[in-house]
Structure 1
Amino acid sequence: MQTAQLTAVDLPEKGLGTAARTVLFMALFFFFWISLNPFVDLTGAAVLDPSAGVSNRLNQLISLGLSGSILLFGMLHTLRNTILQPRALLIPLFSWFLFVSLLSNYPMLGIKGVVLAILMTVNASFYLLLPVSERHFAKMLAFGTLAALALSYYGIVFNPAISIHQASELREPMNAGLWRGHFPHKNSAAAAMVVATFFGLFVMSVWSRFLGAVIVVLAVFFLLQTGGKTSSAMLPATIIVAWTFERFRFLRIPIAVGGIALFNLLAVGSAVIKPFGEFLTQLGIDATFTNRADIWRFAFSAISDNPILGHGFKAFWQTEELVYSGGTIETWAVAAANGHNSYLDIALTTGIPGLVLTLIWVLFLPLRDISRMGPEEQHSPLTRLYTRIWLYTLFNAGLESLFYEGGNMLWFTFMLALYGFRFQASARTIHSRGGRQPRGNAGF
């Protein structure tokens, strides 16, 4: 890494200017946070919309255009060697995903999924090189987050029929009355509001206390209206856990590794191990997590059928072979959209080797990077932001399938945290004419 060899004032002269960097940064931010098709109608009209195919093609074209622009910027940047790092891990990881997909019943699904996952990773590996300073980064986050919040509140006030879940929705009418804004589901809206709160806290620390506080208040209020109990509980819990993680080095591995293991034991373990589940029930603990237990039992059974190769990347849930297998007589879980557990889904589709490689990337390498940071970087607002996003996503992954999900805002933001840790680990403070400048933070 050459991060420490540059100063912040040098970067605008390396390739794109500040204005162009800002435009590219915001374009990709809005692509994930707002999308080209906000306010999806869930009552059935959208399904019958003949323009749906055109919208998908447009989405693909925009995605490829943004990815190409980011890649071109990265290739012209002094730190272009950061692309797809660490390659010693990511090349075997994606190669394995491709290998198991070619052996599956739906190889094209896996190939498309791998290509999209690589594109997302390339984007994330260069994205943090766009800001020219920590303050510039905070300003862009503030503007983008406020725009996304404003759009969601606009929908609630002026078009509640497609911003608030309705009883007429085909899939989950029980969500009627819960806010989702311009997001497709209350759970995705809740996750977005948690991340928006983290952004607001960062903006308060780095740039504007007032605008940061506005973001926090708007995001937290919206979160409470989504009915997302898990995210609502995890927001304060993550802030507390991240504070503990930052200050007590000896607790970092127990918090990250032990926390994920314990969370999955309580959730998936209670569903798969019947005596353990009954024991938790006797203690008054409901570990079913909104009836996900049936899905987890079914997924665990499918993993045992092919624990090494899995069933192929993106080649299990919602496939014709599964949905029309007649298995609904035994369990409704065959019709589930996903496994509602990222770790379980990766083991299910890419086998135990795929899960191990994933855990090395998303869990153990960040722990190593954090341990390599200098004292100033470990306690900086940027590292605090990355840590909150990282911990929240790791624990939320125990209830939602989001790893390697193309177009998923939370997965992309999570990868930014992973690359943020890498930049911070190679950073050191450099003194410039304008005073002390923390170098390496977020790549700028």
Structure 2
Amino acid sequence: MREVAPGRDGGAEGFRASVGPLLFMAVFLFSWITLSPFVDISGEAVLDQSARESSLLNQLVSLGLFACLLGFGLSHPLRGIIFQPHVLLGLIFLWLGFVSTVVSSYPFQGIKGMVLAVIAIVNGSVLLLLPRSERQFAKLLGLGCLIVLAVSYFGILFKPNLSIHQTSTVLEPMNAGLWRGHFRHKNDAAVAMVVMVLFGLFAMKVWSRMAGAAIVCLAFFFLLNTGGKTSTAMLPAVLVVAWVFERVRVLRAPIVIGGIALFNLFAVGSAVIRPLGEFVSELGIDATFTNRADIWRLAFGAIAEQPLTGYGMKGFWQTSQLVNGGGAIETWAVAASHAHNSYLEMILMMGVPGLLLTLVWLVFLPLYHISRIDSANAHSDLTRLFVRIWLYVLAHACLESLFFEGSNPLWLTFLVAIYGLSLQTSAGLLPEPDAKPQRAVAHA
């Protein structure tokens, strides 16, 4: 770490070094454990998806952490990274604000969703400024993962009724016996365990081989018991694809762009193109993708009516117009909470222009940043972690909606990876003090 002269700057640096790790752990645990773990999903209250999000205490803590992160970021020498890229994000939110207030029939919900989205992006852009070194970053991730895993396994051992799906569950009683830990659903737990494995692999290399290996083993075992087939299959696939992505530069764009296009073609396309659906079925794959096909067909019908503007944030799913419009007679999909596809969700939210702007930000810009990372950093453990998370979320987004979801921990993790790739082009987390710096530092 570069020496700082005594005085106000040195005092500020010391304050940031003390507060940063504590703030990082607070945000990590609040995101992955929340204030209300072990949700009882056997009662009718579970049908209200907004119940947990509307918790007053949850909102106060979220705003408090946001204020702390924003204050920390504004006092940091790299404050310019906050909410970058300013112009592109400005265009996205200007357009989203227009369709959510002028086009949408539910402007209040749209504005609330936009505020949460902005908070999440600011949080994601500041989080990497909190640890003072790459090793400390790995240590914080490792400790956070161990706590998350401890809470999940505690639930399995001592709160099985709240940690394992039961036959008394109102929604999806067929999941009885599958683990969910302190998460709301087995799929949420499966996604979390994939991320924990990726964090554990990074911790093995940079912090502690033993602790990292424990995280990987515990998370993978939990993943297997969630019954999350998609997440279980994606984990090794992402590791292999990331390995190829790192070593074969010429295949990077085809892997990402082609992969997203093909995944969506076979998944979403099979729902609306009958010959393609039959072909997918012949391959031994469920062409409905766990009953998502009905949701996708409904989404395509809605998109056809408003392809340019969409319906605004929070302006389509679970609205009174959709739920009480009589469509339930034709399909159960009107009761869905989201499109189960982030790219389709973007079109529903802000039309084709919004999707294109989002793709530039989340797909093409990171590709550009990766191409600019120097050879020394291109194969570093830190860059490898960011690339793995980025690739995993882009693939996962083909089956779930998470873009701009302010309360989704996977979205926050994705944002950290994106900002991490941006920082790797010109700066990096500091090595340990006794190591010779190999690149420009992220902390002055």
Structure 1 and Structure 2 fold alike (TM over 0.5): yes
Alignment partners' CA distance in 2, 1:225 and 1:387: 27
Alignment partners' CA distance in 1, 2:283 and 2:196: 35
Does 1:192 pair with 2:201?
no
Does 1:268 pair with 2:262?
no
Alignment partners' CA distance in 2, 1:203 and 1:191: 19
CA, structure 1 residues 430+183, in 2 after alignment: closer, same or farther (shift >3 Å)?
Answer: closer
Residue in structure 1 matched with residue 237 of structure 2 by the alignment: 237
Aligned AA for 2:77?
Answer: T
CA, structure 1 residues 432+442, in 2 after alignment: closer, same or farther (shift >3 Å)?
Answer: closer
Does 1:57 pair with 2:56?
yes
Residue in structure 2 matched with residue 424 of structure 1 by the alignment: 424
Residue in structure 2 matched with residue 180 of structure 1 by the alignment: 180
Q: Deviations over 1:184-213 (max 9, x none)?
A: 111110000000000000000101100000
- TM-score, structure 2 as length reference: 0.94
Aligned AA for 2:269?
Answer: G
* Conservation of the 8 A alpha-carbon contact between 1:427 and 1:438: no
Alignment partners' CA distance in 2, 1:433 and 1:137: 14
Q: Which moved more, 1:142-151 or 1:266-275?
A: 266-275
RMSD: 2.1
Compute the displacement of 1:314 (Å). Answer: 1.5
Alignment partners' CA distance in 2, 1:428 and 1:285: 42
Name the % identity.
Answer: 59
* Conservation of the 8 A alpha-carbon contact between 2:78 and 2:442: no
Residue in structure 2 matched with residue 129 of structure 1 by the alignment: 129
CA, structure 1 residues 159+438, in 2 after alignment: closer, same or farther (shift >3 Å)?
Answer: farther
* Conservation of the 8 A alpha-carbon contact between 2:134 and 2:430: no
* Conservation of the 8 A alpha-carbon contact between 1:428 and 1:440: yes
Does 1:82 pair with 2:81?
yes
Alignment partners' CA distance in 2, 1:18 and 1:139: 14
Q: Which moved more, 1:206-215 or 1:281-290?
A: 281-290
Residue in structure 1 matched with residue 401 of structure 2 by the alignment: 401
Compute the displacement of 1:443 (Å). Answer: 6.3
Q: Deviations over 1:72-123 (max 9, x none)?
A: 0111111111111000100010111111001210011111111110011011
Task: Map 1:286-301; keep pairs closer than 5 Å.
Answer: 286-301=286-301
Residue in structure 1 matched with residue 71 of structure 2 by the alignment: 72
Q: Deviations over 1:330-361 (max 9, x none)?
A: 11111111110000011111100110111011
CA, structure 1 residues 12+408, in 2 after alignment: closer, same or farther (shift >3 Å)?
Answer: farther
Does 1:35 pair with 2:29?
no
Alignment partners' CA distance in 2, 1:300 and 1:203: 42
Alignment gaps of 5+ in structure 2:
none
Task: Map 1:351-390; keep pairs closer than 5 Å.
Answer: 351-390=351-390
Aligned AA for 1:75?
Answer: L
Compute the displacement of 1:287 (Å). Answer: 2.8
Alignment gaps of 5+ in structure 1:
1-6
Aligned AA for 2:155?
Answer: G
Q: Which moved more, 1:101-110 or 1:219-228?
A: 101-110
Aligned AA for 1:337?
Answer: S
Aligned AA for 2:87?
Answer: A
Alignment partners' CA distance in 2, 1:369 and 1:48: 42
CA, structure 1 residues 439+347, in 2 after alignment: closer, same or farther (shift >3 Å)?
Answer: same
Alignment partners' CA distance in 2, 1:188 and 1:310: 27
- TM-score, structure 1 as length reference: 0.94
**Match of 1:348, SS?**
helix
Residue in structure 1 matched with residue 321 of structure 2 by the alignment: 321
Q: Deviations over 1:208-258 (max 9, x none)?
A: 100000000000000000000000000011001000000000110011000
**Match of 1:314, SS?**
coil
Residue in structure 2 matched with residue 4 of structure 1 by the alignment: none
Residue in structure 2 matched with residue 3 of structure 1 by the alignment: none
**Match of 1:435, SS?**
coil
CA, structure 1 residues 351+213, in 2 after alignment: closer, same or farther (shift >3 Å)?
Answer: same
Compute the displacement of 1:286 (Å). Answer: 2.8
Q: Which moved more, 1:323-332 or 1:216-225?
A: 323-332
**Match of 1:325, SS?**
coil
Compute the displacement of 1:53 (Å). Answer: 8.0
Aligned AA for 1:386?
Answer: F
